[in-house]
Amino acid sequence: TEKGKEFQKTGEIKGLDKNLSGLFGISIKVGRLGADKIKVEPFGNIHKDKKGEAVVDEVREPLIDIFEESDHTMIVAEMPGVEEKDIRIDLKDDILQISAETREKKYHKEILLKESFTKDKMARTYKNGILEIKLVK
């Protein structure tokens, strides 16, 4: 991945049970605006248990991007397969929780923000599986 770029790789695992499937991916972000940081962030619903074996959770962790701007923070979450009415957002100080549940899909993510925000300064939009949450500073 080149400086200032992002790379994503995903895969899917299906079990013998038709209802059992898993998704695992990583997002690699390489320094933007001259920063030399590399950030690797996993997402999906597959992880290793204490024995080191792969486990498929019922709840998926959505891919999240956080953009820090001078007057606001923007959180973008990829949550395909749900409708806006299925999404729940809880904000308490510097902790943002995003969850959604339908018959087929469940998502949950807890995000520690760089600063505290209040619900009255939060706006959200959801379109084509992309949730955007704007928190005004």
Note whether 49 and 76 are same-domain residues: no
pLDDT for the residue numbered 89: 98
The answer to whether residues 35 and 67 belong to one domain is no
Of 12, 38, 58, the one marking the end of a domain is 58
Check residue 124 and give its pLDDT.
Answer: 98
User: What pLDDT digit, counting tens, does each position of 63-118 carry?
Assistant: 899 999 999 999 999 999 999 999 999 999 999 999 999 998 899 999 999 999 99
Does one domain contain both 9 and 29? yes
pLDDT surpasses 70 at 16: no
CATH of the domain at 106: 2.60.40.790
Identify the domain containing residue 26 by its residue range: 1-58
Q: What is the pLDDT of residue 61?
A: 87
Q: Is the pLDDT of residue 4 over 80?
A: no
- Identify whether residues 53 and 70 lie together within a single domain: no
Domain final residue pick, 15, 41, 58:
58
The pLDDT of residue 45 is: 79
Contact 102, 115 (CB under 8 A): no
pLDDT range class, residue 25, cuts 50, 70, 90: confident
Q: Is the pLDDT of residue 51 over 90?
A: no
Instruction: Inform me whether the pLDDT recorded for 34 exceeds 70.
Output: no
Do 81 and 27 fall into the same domain? Answer: no
Distance between CA atoms of residues 118 and 66, nearest Å: 17
88 with 76, same domain: the answer is yes
Specify whether 73 is located in the same domain as 52. no
Query: Number of folded domains in the chain?
Result: 2
